[in-house]
Amino acid sequence: AQTVTQSQPEMSVQEAETVTLSCTYDTSESDYYLFWYKQPPSRQMILVIRQEAYKQQNATENRFSVNFQKAAKSFSLKISDSQLGDAAMYFCAYRSGQGTNAGKSTFGDGTTLTVKP
């Protein structure tokens, strides 16, 4: 079974600074996808960034980027120039891409990010 671990229950960052959220996963599958989602106080889940496992290049989406280390099974999220609106709970998610498990998703326990003005 796949597992996703977020080792930082809470993080804080000063506005305009950079913060990195950690995520590690465990799988024996070769075909999978990784995602970071954001859940603000409204509880609506919002996609932040996505990464295909077969792509070596790290995904970037404006101020958000990932450091994908496939051999180490690590998928950290870097938020640059942090803004007050970035305050939320962030979830790392794994989705299987192969066989009978295709589409099955596993989420980490989340990291609550506080942004200080």
46 phi and psi angles, rounded to 5 deg: -130, 135
Q: Which is nearer to another protein, 42 or 84 (CB)?
A: 42
Residues 39 and 6: beta-carbon distance below 8 Å: no
Q: Which is nearer to another protein, 75 or 91 (CB)?
A: 91
Count of CB atoms within 10 A of residue 109's CB?
Answer: 13
Q: Contacting another protein (CB under 8 A), which of 20, 33, 58, 78?
A: 33
Q: Which is nearer to another protein, 28 or 44 (CB)?
A: 44
Q: Which is nearer to another protein, 14 or 114 (CB)?
A: 114
In sign, the C-alpha dihedral spanning 30, 103, 58, 67 is negative
Give 49's Cβ-side CA count (13 Å radius). Answer: 20
Q: Does 70 bind another protein (CB under 8 A)?
A: no
Residues 75 and 92: beta-carbon distance below 8 Å: yes
- Applying CB under 8 A, which part among 16-24, 64-72, 76-84, 92-100 lies near another protein? 92-100
Binding residues vs another protein (CB under 8 A):
1, 6, 33, 35, 37, 43-45, 47, 50-52, 91, 93, 95, 97, 100, 102-110, 112
